[in-house]
Amino acid sequence: MIAQRMSHMDSSGIRKIFDLAKNMKNPVNLSIGQPDFDVPSQIKNEAIHWIQKGFNQYTVTQGIPELREKLLEKLKRERGIEAEDILITSGVSGGIFLAFMALLNPGDEVIVPDPYFAMYKHLSHLMGASPVYIDTYPEFILTAEKISEKISKKTKLILINSPSNPTGVVTPQRELKKIVELAKKHHLVILSDEIYSEFSYDEPFQSIGRDYPLTLVLDGFSKTFAMTGWRLGFTAGPKEIIQAMTRLQQFSFVCAPSFAQKAALKALDCDMKGPIQEYRRKRDLIYEGLKEKFKLTRPGGAFYLFPQAPDPDGDVFVQKALEKNLLIIPGSVFSERKTHFRISFAAPNETLAKGIEILNQMV
């Protein structure tokens, strides 16, 4: 009864952890990849204003013009990206889905850095394409040299997620430039998932889209403004690809939420430096608290840490942590290996301190 394509899609490993946690009382939760601060009040008030004003119908499929124009101007001013077109999507996840649908044929190959955001693997399989994994352990840096070894006549797309989920690692600018040259040589599309662009702690964020026009830049409002449930993102890039994605959105998501698009205009004027500075401090707190007993790479961005488990099997270590009332995510959710585990430090400092104490006691 169920379509064969579904056989490649397992239930989310993160959801499995949440299911196991249902019976836990007051768990120390370092699993959830969403900000622990609330949407700023001025953004919430703007959304309420437009809901009450009656702006609750469909918008045009590509998104309201004023938001599209403001985002294109922001991308050019802050990241040096001169995108030909832009589409407002139902979250970055919606943008990734539409991009894969528009670009991938059965049999195509997708370059995927390992560890990876879990959606990349499963959506590749859903399209009938093959993810080709680039092992980036132990520093988690994607390099052109590693990619070049895996390029074939079937390669269609290179995925870049910087800062990364689940590692928090930022791809160095020198490597981005080399990847651009490689993509030019083979005429490959780059999909750059930049949802954590504002969470770059040690150096200004650099987008590969600045140097390579055949880049799809995806970003959104979920992480920077804590609007995870509002499902609002955008994809900017070559006009031909954006128009194909727009046609697909017309017959799938239809449009992004209307009131959220209006509120996003207000969000783009909000100063979020305070919360992001606080997350830099959280990064330092969790890294310094664990570095003596765990093998780990200091994250340069996002709000994740990806330590190596002291047990050979990271899944077993996560199960032991659950028994101690600590919620973390197995590294196998994000990788072809199961040697590591993911921590989200998007949590109150007291929760981080408890998590550090439990983890150190487990070594």
Task: Please report the domains of the chain, with CATH numbers, ordered by start residue.
Answer: 4-39+272-362 (3.90.1150.10), 41-267 (3.40.640.10)
Q: Using CA of residue 225, residue 228, residue 232, residue 234, what is the dihedral sign?
A: positive
Q: CB neighbours of 264 closer than 8 A, spacing ≥ 6?
A: 67, 221, 227, 232
Q: Report pTM.
A: 0.95
**What separation, in Å, do the N-terminal and C-terminal C-alpha atoms of the chain show?**
47
In the Cβ-directed half-sphere of 129, how many Cα atoms lie within 13 Å? 25
Q: Is the pLDDT of residue 12 over 60?
A: no
Q: Is the pLDDT of residue 338 over 90?
A: yes
Q: Is the pLDDT of residue 18 over 80?
A: no
What local confidence, expressed as pLDDT, does residue 97 receive? 98
What local confidence, expressed as pLDDT, does residue 129 receive? 97
What local confidence, expressed as pLDDT, does residue 223 receive? 98
**CB neighbours of residue 130 within 10 Å:** 17
Query: In terms of C-beta distances under 8 Å and separation of at least 24 residues, what long-range contacts does 60-64 make, across chains too?
Result: 60/255, 61/246, 61/249, 61/250, 61/254, 61/255, 62/86, 62/87, 62/88, 62/246, 62/249, 63/87, 63/88, 63/234, 63/255, 63/256, 63/261, 64/88, 64/258, 64/261, 64/262
Average pLDDT score over residue span 233-253: 98
Average pLDDT score over residue span 321-328: 95
CA dihedral 238, 239, 245, 247 (to 10 degrees): -170
Q: Is the pLDDT of residue 176 over 70?
A: yes
Confidence of residue 329 (pLDDT cuts 50, 70, 90): very high
Phi/psi zone of residue 125: left (φ > 0), alpha (ψ -120 to 50 degrees), beta? alpha
Q: What is the pLDDT of residues 124-154, one digit of tens each?
A: 999 999 999 999 999 999 999 999 999 999 9
What local confidence, expressed as pLDDT, does residue 20 receive? 67
8-12, 67-71, 285-289, 317-321: the lowest-pLDDT one: 8-12
Confidence of residue 175 (pLDDT cuts 50, 70, 90): very high
Q: What whole-number distance in Å separates Cα of residue 49 and Cα of residue 233?
A: 21
Average pLDDT score over residue span 40-53: 98
Chain centroid to Cα 322, Å, comes to: 25
Q: What whole-number distance in Å separates Cα of residue 2 and Cα of residue 9?
A: 12
What local confidence, expressed as pLDDT, does residue 6 receive? 82
Would you give the DSSP letter of residue 160?
A: E
Q: What is the pLDDT of residues 273-321, one digit of tens each?
A: 999 999 999 999 999 999 999 999 999 999 999 999 998 899 999 999 9
User: Any alpha helices (H) in 291-339, and if so which ranges?
Assistant: 314-323
Confidence of residue 14 (pLDDT cuts 50, 70, 90): low
Average pLDDT score over residue span 241-264: 98
Q: Is the pLDDT of residue 13 over 70?
A: no
Q: What whole-number distance in Å separates Cα of residue 321 and Cα of residue 118?
A: 22
* Percent of residues, the chain, with pLDDT higher than 70: 96
Q: Using CA of residue 281, residue 168, residue 190, residue 330, what is the dihedral sign?
A: negative
Phi/psi zone of residue 340: left (φ > 0), alpha (ψ -120 to 50 degrees), beta? beta
The SS3 call for residue 236 is strand
Selected residue with higher pLDDT from 57 and 17: 57
What local confidence, expressed as pLDDT, does residue 127 receive? 96
Q: In degrees, to the nearest 5, what angle opens at C-alpha 11 toward C-alphas 102 and 160?
A: 45
Confidence of residue 4 (pLDDT cuts 50, 70, 90): confident
Q: Using CA of residue 162, residue 189, residue 252, residue 115, what is the dihedral sign?
A: negative
Q: Is the pLDDT of residue 41 over 70?
A: yes
The SS3 call for residue 273 is helix
What local confidence, expressed as pLDDT, does residue 24 receive? 78
- Considering the chain, what is the average pLDDT of its residues? 95
What local confidence, expressed as pLDDT, does residue 154 receive? 98
Q: What whole-number distance in Å separates Cα of residue 161 and Cα of residue 140?
A: 11
